[in-house]
């Protein structure tokens, strides 16, 4: 049978050292740094035992931005940056729950990304008890860097940061995450079967704030990775 519309080609993230990572799904983690949970008016867990369940949401794969060019999105006047670690899944998980001590075996590489958010629409959705989709999963809402191969890499002591127009807005060490990468893959596997091509955005530290057309974002993970993007005027 002939396709009646053009088939969508998956976005492909470059991997340092060669090759690309075609993206199947994007999973996102909410409230994974206590200081950000508090700045959003949510409670941070008092202890690791009290952390409950992580907050998950998604973005469509075609929300990825690979060239750093983000048109200011429609229907918002409060576009916020959230700098996050990205985790690229390189192998299909077996069916069933993935044990935390085996979870990192699935990881192909790590990168950094921005979980761009229409904060005004998210606040309205929260107040009305409605889903977050229109606040999170819009076009151009996920600029990402290249991926670093995971082999031999331990990022727990690494610092994730974001500057906007040269001013530091967000900075945190990755060991401050409430849920580690292994914890998150374990929790996701209770809900979904993880597959090669899945990308996970791990949640943001405090300091989220508004972006305007013309703003330049520069995100870094130590001296290992960087991501530059610019907010362009809204498309007309």
> Segment near Mn ion (CB under 5 A), from 34-42, 107-115, 150-158, 216-224?
107-115
How far is it, in rounded angstroms, from Cα 135 to Cα 123?
Answer: 9
Per-residue interface string for the shown chain with Mn ion, residues 199-218, x marking contact by CB under 5 A? -----x--------------
Give the contacts of 176 (CB within 8 A, at least 6 positions apart). 33, 34, 35, 205
The separation between CA 133 and the C-alpha centre of its own chain, rounded to angstroms, equals 14
How far is it, in rounded angstroms, from Cα 11 to Cα 185?
Answer: 22
DSSP string, 70-135: EEPPTT-S-EE--EEEEEEE-SPPPSSPPPHHHHGGGEEEEEEEE--EEHHHHHHHHHHT--SHHH
Q: Check residue 119 for interaction with Mn ion (CB under 5 A).
A: no
For the CB of residue 36, give the shortest distance to Mn ion in the complex, in Å. Answer: 8
Among 13, 34, 59, 82, contact with Mn ion (rule: CB under 5 A): 82
User: How many CA atoms does the CB half-sphere of 3 hold within 13 Å?
Assistant: 4
Size of the site for Mn ion (CB under 5 A): 3
Cβ atoms of 66 and 140 within 8 Å: the answer is no
Among 107, 109, 111, 115, contact with Mn ion (rule: CB under 5 A): 115
In this complex, which beta carbon is closest to Mn ion, that of residue 123 or of residue 196?
123
> Segment near Mn ion (CB under 5 A), from 76-84, 106-114, 165-173, 228-236?
76-84
In this complex, which beta carbon is closest to Mn ion, that of residue 161 or of residue 204?
204
In this complex, which beta carbon is closest to Mn ion, that of residue 15 or of residue 203?
203
Nearest residue to Mn ion on Cβ basis: 115
In this complex, which beta carbon is closest to Mn ion, that of residue 91 or of residue 124?
124
Burial group, residue 194, by CB count within 10 angstroms (0-12, 13-18, 19+): buried
The separation between CA 191 and the C-alpha centre of its own chain, rounded to angstroms, equals 18
> Segment near Mn ion (CB under 5 A), from 67-75, 86-94, 112-120, 138-146?
112-120
- The DSSP letter of residue 232 is E
Per-residue interface string for the shown chain with Mn ion, residues 145-184, x marking contact by CB under 5 A? ----------------------------------------
For the CB of residue 94, give the shortest distance to Mn ion in the complex, in Å. Answer: 28
For the CB of residue 149, give the shortest distance to Mn ion in the complex, in Å. Answer: 24
How far is it, in rounded angstroms, from Cα 197 to Cα 174?
Answer: 23
What residue ranges bind Mn ion (CB under 5 A)?
Answer: 82, 115, 204
């Amino acid at each position: 049978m002939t396709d009646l519309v053009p088939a969508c080609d998956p976005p492909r993230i470059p991997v340092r050292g060669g090759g690309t990572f075609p993206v199947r799904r994007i999973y996102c983690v909410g409230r994974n740094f206590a200081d950000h949970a508090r700045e959003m008016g949510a409670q941070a867990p008092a202890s690791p035992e009290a952390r409950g369940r992580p907050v998950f949401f998604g973005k469509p794969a075609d929300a990825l931005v690979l060239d750093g060019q983000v048109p200011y999105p429609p229907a918002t006047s409060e576009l916020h940056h959230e700098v996050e670690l990205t985790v690229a899944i390189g192998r299909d998980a077996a069916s069933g729950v993935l044990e935390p001590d085996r979870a990192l075996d699935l990881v192909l590489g790590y990168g950094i990304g921005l979980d761009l958010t229409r904060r005004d629409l998210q606040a309205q959705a929260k107040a009305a008890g409605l889903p977050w989709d229109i606040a999170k999963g819009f076009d151009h809402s996920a600029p990402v860097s290249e991926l670093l191969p995971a082999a031999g890499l331990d990022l727990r002591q690494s610092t994730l940061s974001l500057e906007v127009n040269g001013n530091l807005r967000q900075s945190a060490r990755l060991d401050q995450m409430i849920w580690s990468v292994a914890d998150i893959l374990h929790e996701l596997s209770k809900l979904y079967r993880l597959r090669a091509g899945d990308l996970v955005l791990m949640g943001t530290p405090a300091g989220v704030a508004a972006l305007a057309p013309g703003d330049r974002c520069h995100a870094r993970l130590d001296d290992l990775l960087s991501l530059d993007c610019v907010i362009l005027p809204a498309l007309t």
